[in-house]
Structure 1
Amino acid sequence: MSTEIEITTRNGYGTTLAAVINHPPEFDDTRTYPAIVVSHPGGGVKEQTAGLYARNLAQDGFVTIAYDASFQGASTGTPRQLENPFIRTEDVSAVIDHLTTLPYVDNDRIGAMGICAGAGYTVNAAINDPRIKAVGTVSMVNIGQMFRNGWDGSIADADAAPVLDQAAQARTSDASGPDDGNQFPLAPMTKEDAPNPELEEAWEYYHTPRCEHPNAPGWMTARSLSQIVTYDAFHKAEAFLTQPLLCIAGSAAGSKWMSDDAFARAASTDKTFHVVEGANHMSLYDGDAEVKEAVSQLGPFFTDRL
């Protein structure tokens, strides 16, 4: 059973999150259940891969919530399509705030997972918020690393300085009035923009009937780069990411190095890395076999740790 809900955040930005809560089969509101927050990729919305994973995990006996980030999708907030990683991390904890108010959720059995940038934000939230008792990631992206170092990690940090200049120029332009031209793609906006076949799939996912959605335009405000370029989703993971951790990535994913980095840096003594052979970054979003394999790992992991 899935129900649309609204979650009022208390993070100081005054946004209301549009969300979908999923209940397990034969749900009984007189019982208590473990719960999982599911966070969408950068540029995504709850109706896409996050919702798919949330529905699947509900079948394993969890209350799950997939939601739209502040300033995005059906959630409130302006400017639209702001991708501020600190706010996106706070959104994860805002959903947990809501879960703690539900009498049928066991507050000591709340986990969180995410896909792509949503996985990086989930890790950051777990570092900050010990109410998260277990962490799962799929095709994880540390959005700061990606914008500093490139899809495959081959670019030096300092070489991202021109991107900060672009962000500064956008902020100056925005200060004089809204400018819809200050957009920056989170995935290739056209097939021709894709630098490789894997990212061509990202264009296909967001901009063709494969999984396009009217609330997911595929770009963010250029001013967002001011926060993103210097952001590290894994900051202080060596000290504070102590929760059980499951990382899932495809063997052919150009982004796998970011999952490797988080896994190495995590302080957790209970951490597992599952590689989906032959999968790339995007196939774990909606590929039937790939998602099935990922859920077959996530379900038992959260069952055992929550």
Structure 2
Amino acid sequence: MVHKALNSIVLAAAVAVSASQADAADYRKNPFTLVYEGAITQNLPGKVNMHPVTYKLNGLDISANIYTPANYDPKKTYPAVVVAHPNGGVKEQTAGLYAQRLAEQGYIAITADAAYQGASGGQPHNTDKPANRIEDIHGMADFITRYPGVDQARLGLLGICGGGGYSLAAAQTDKRFKSVATLSMFNSGMVRRNGFMDSQLSTIQERLQQASNARAQEAAGGEVLYANNVQLTDEKIAKLPFEMYRQGFEYYGKTHAHPNSDPKYTLSSLLDLMSFDATDHIDLIDKPLLMIAGGKADSLYMTEQAFAKASGTKDKELFKIDGATHIETYWVPKYVDAAVGKLAKFYARTL
């Protein structure tokens, strides 16, 4: 999704938050660079712990964090959940928050930076292709099912925002996932193709031509071009037509900024993105499905569309969090509590 381009200078200047909120979300004040409220600051006996790991996926180094429950014993067995992060996000933001909260419920949870994004390898960086994001989810499953204490027969999936759309795609064929949940699902291909709320239908061919030209330029050894490589003033942010984007700039650029989080993606990625749709073949999902979204989210239509098309499972539920917008489900405590409470019951029943 669109949000403010970040770098260390911008981060240092991001002061438009209260002192308490800045402390809670300042990556420089957390030894793991986590930027969410209540984040782990050190691994202590008897508590939820976090373990940074790196593993190979198709020759690339993938940077991931694994959260283990309190009193974790590798000789025992635990259910596990793979958590896929939002577009432009990284594992230290909302994906980490939900992974930590799931670990508090007794799950081993993994969240990784997507290949070509965040702290993971891959060039040109910020390539954003659906096949890569789907493969990331398979790769997290590969790694976590071999982790000490994980019960391979009890593996769940949680996708947030763009990670939610890619989780729906991954779960269509990867039957290792015994249940699937999404939070504020964002159908990246549909939005890159049609625009948010179908606002760019008239320019589809024009944008495909731009992406094609960018691909040709890359192939010829020229400069890599990027979409969403922008910085906006507060005044311009306030004039954005969609609340999700306005609040996204605040979340990613100010209140929960992280230096590895970046909104831009290679313009040539649109060749793959614009022909993708998270709901294609969604009927292949035959496992329990829980879709959570904010009741006030302007992105809610994507969750509702996907839910209606998910005809392959009879065990499905759409849960709307009263009063919540898309971005507010990432961090507002009462909305996170509502989502985690629902997820805990869902995974307890299905895993």
**What is the letter of the counterpart of residue 251 of structure 2?**
Y
Q: Which residue of 2 aligns with 1:275?
A: 320
Is residue 133 of structure 1 aligned with residue 178 of structure 2? yes
Please say if 1:205 is aligned against 2:248: no
Which TM-score applies when normalising by structure 1?
A: 0.93
Match of 1:185 among 218, 228, 249: 228
Task: Quote the residue 1:241 is aligned against.
Answer: 285
Give the Cα separation in 2 of the matches to 1:96 and 1:178. Answer: 36
| Match of residue 55, structure 1, among 100, 105, 117 | 100
Q: Distance in 1 between matches of 2:204 and 2:348?
A: 41
Aligned equivalents of 2:339, 2:291: Cα separation in 1: 10
Residue identity in the other structure for 1:2: M
One-letter amino acid matched to 1:243: K
Pair 1:2 & 2:46 matched: no
Distance change (3 Å), C-alpha of 1:237 and 1:196 = closer
TM-score by length of 2: 0.82
1:262-288: CA deviation from partner (whole Å, max 9, x where unpaired): 111111110011101111111111111
State the distance in 2 between where 1:30 and 1:247 align.
33
Change (3 A) 1:197 1:96: closer
Q: Distance in 2 between matches of 1:300 and 1:259?
A: 20
CA positional deviation for 1:178: 5.0
| Partner residue in 2 for 1:38 | 83
CA distance in 1, matches of 2:231, 2:98: 25
On the 8 A contact 1:241/1:268 being kept in 2, the answer is yes
Query: Structure 1: any 5+ residue segments left out of the alignment?
Result: none
Q: Distance in 2 between matches of 1:72 and 1:161?
A: 27
Equivalent residue letter for 2:91 = K
1:114-125 matches, cutoff 5 A: 114-125=159-170
2:33 match: none
The CA distance in 1 between the partners of 2:77 and 2:115, in whole Å, is 28
Aligned length: 298
Q: CA deviation at 1:229?
A: 0.5
1:113 aligned onto 2:158: yes
Q: Give yes or no for contact 2:154–2:178 (8 Å, CA) kept in 1.
A: yes
1:69 matched to 2:114? The reply is yes
Pairing 1:196–2:239 present: no
Structure 1 vs Structure 2 CA RMSD: 1.5
Unaligned runs of 5+ in 2: 1-48
Name the CA distance, whole Å, in 2 between partners of 1:106 and 1:280: 35
In the TM superposition, 1:137-156 aligns within 5 A as 137-153=182-198, 156=201
The amino acid that maps onto 1:47 is: E
TM superposition shift of 1:147: 1.3
2:161 partner letter: C
Distance 1:8 1:303 in 2: 31
After superposition, the Cα gap between the structure-2 partners of 1:106 and 1:178, relative to the gap in structure 1 and judged at 3 Å, is: farther
Deviations 1:73-108 (A, max 9, x none): 111111100001111001101111112222411111
Cα pair 2:158 2:181 within 8 Å, conserved: yes
Q: Output the CA distance in 2 between the equivalents of 1:207 and 1:175.
A: 32
Higher mean C-alpha displacement, 194-203 vs 82-91: 194-203
1: CA distance between counterparts of 2:244 and 2:177?
A: 32
- Partner in structure 2 of residue 26 of structure 1: 71
The counterpart of 2:210, out of the listed 166, 190, 207, is 166
